[in-house]
Structure 1
Amino acid sequence: MTDDAITIRFNSEKSHSFLRYISPKPHRRVVHELAVALMNQYFNASLSRRQWLKQPRQPAAWHFDNHSRKSKPIDINIIESLLETGTFDFNALDIFDPRCNWLDSSIHIKARVHLPGSDGKSVVFRIPTNLGSSFPYVPHLDREGHALNSLQIMSQKRILELHSIVVSESHSYDQLSWFQNLRSYICECVSLIDMTLHQIYYKARYSPLPGWTFNKNKLGPRFGRRLSDKIAWIYKITSKHLGAEDELKEFYILKDLRNHLQHFDPPCICYTLEDVAHWLNGIHSVAALAWKIRKCIGSPLSVPLIEMLLTPVVEFVPSDTSLPRIPQPSNVGYASTRPRDVNQ
């Protein structure tokens, strides 16, 4: 047996991009909210945007390695102007990276040689984690290999990379390599939230922040749990309501799709590029959910997470816009292969 591929093409150019970013400019509301969050973090304040607009330009001060540091004079307009580029260049302000020390900070080592010691044992490299001295897992590496103590930033950057690839290479949507990138994007989006919840669980158990509560019985087991049960950990640990109903609704769409793409039950799949555009725009719900989780635990945003929030909207572009298009029916595309109960 050989793989058979059937391509249906009606006057479609191979170079046509079926997906594109609508605008390079991020949504103003998101820019404003991010700017307020960053200003409050850098100045240890809790002001509104209206209040920050009245504040004079001033440097932010902090301590690093027992030394006092100061940024360039900044105000909320400067922060917003940087965010409008789709990222946040904190180096341009001579200010510190806003990321969370225990959630985002990552150390990784690569060994390319095995070093036996004089005592007959290998030289072992160990990486401490950010989840407390009693956290039972400590990466050990004594020969060729790679060790990482956090995958948070790596996952965020990978989501952004895959998102860009799926859009920029949409002219090759009929290639299996493109589908695999789409599949990886969906899986990475869900893994980011799942990983964040596990980091919080372990942090609460081995090195809780002030005001946190860890009750193993109330939290339940980590394994064999629905993701919604893990989401409930946030309130049980922090006593703060997540308030992310809209974000969770979109996130669970991606989560169910991830399950299908991982287990392939049913063992087939179909999707239109209009479906894909919706999934790609789910990046905003994933990032917003991650942000709301961080608000509950008192954690700041990382730059890649900021970039996820600022990612432009994706739209589907037919190859011939002069032809009329029928709205996608509810029984075609992914809807035709979405997992559902069937008669036995």
Structure 2
Amino acid sequence: MEGVDKDSMVKQASHIWSMLDDMAANNPQAYKKFIDQKMKERDEYFSPPEPHMCVQTYIQGPNAKKIYINFFSWHRIPEPKSDTAPVSVVGGKIQEFKEKTGVSATATIAMNPQPLKDCEQVTSQMENTQTIIHLALAFVEKQNNISLSRTYCIFGKNDLYRGNLTDLKQGLVALFKKQDEAVEDIEEQFSPAALGTKDSLLNQMSNIVIDKDKSKKIKDVKPNIKIIPDEKVAKKGMIEEISTDKVQLSTPKYDVNIIEAPEAGGEKNVVVKIHLPLVKSVDECELDISEDDLKLFVGDKYELHVPLPEPIVEDDANAKFSKKLCALTIRMPVR
């Protein structure tokens, strides 16, 4: 972000939103296809790293010990621009852990999926794999100021990593913490609400009908999307008057859809997605589901009552909270 003129970026973002607004008004199907593609690319980019391969070698010198190199595949890492271009690698510091044979070390690195897939090509598998492993060893040596043996062994496909998988993933994600915070700040600043654009784009989204010829699991009806405008926040003065009346909680934005599952014999589900930008954990949410309505209460932040379009089986309902999207999705089978 250094050296970037923020005023120019805001103007450009505002122009882009205006173009999307026109697209939504004039060609809602093209708009939906464009948004779906961009959301798919965003989800892929922010998907967590996945283990790909584990290699064992040794740290040389007076502190010689066994070390495991965990290779992770991650879309966050840029793909090489050509076959001869450098391969990008990221990774953290070496960590020690105890195993039956004594104290060993582990290092975790991540690469773009493409160069790792190239290792699986039969024609040049050994050459590609050796190149990737030597690159990783050189990276770990430089990152930790150590010397590693070039004699190594590769574990099988049922043994892709050593250590706690959750900790290994979190260690890699932490490397991008500042970048992710910057992205969140940009999304917040350049969103339609922040830029003062009209609600017509969102209103057009609610008018989109899914094509019948596409193999979607969504019922071919107009989605019942309720758009609730953001309340204007009054500027606080030097002295603020505190009311003793009951605090009125905000009503979060939400949408309700009926989804059919062909693989389950046409079973229908009512799906409610609630957007909760101020919520960081599902522990903050209190959810009450009955046969014909849904109620949500979140501390001193949100309160919501949603009448359901069809009677549901409340005992079979399930809810999932996405920290990345700050959204709670409740799926309820229709009775």
Q: Which has the higher contact order (CA 8 A, sep 6+)?
A: 1
Task: Normalising by structure 1, report the TM-score.
Answer: 0.25
Task: Normalising by structure 2, report the TM-score.
Answer: 0.26
Structure with greater proportional strand content: 2
Structure with greater proportional helix content: 1
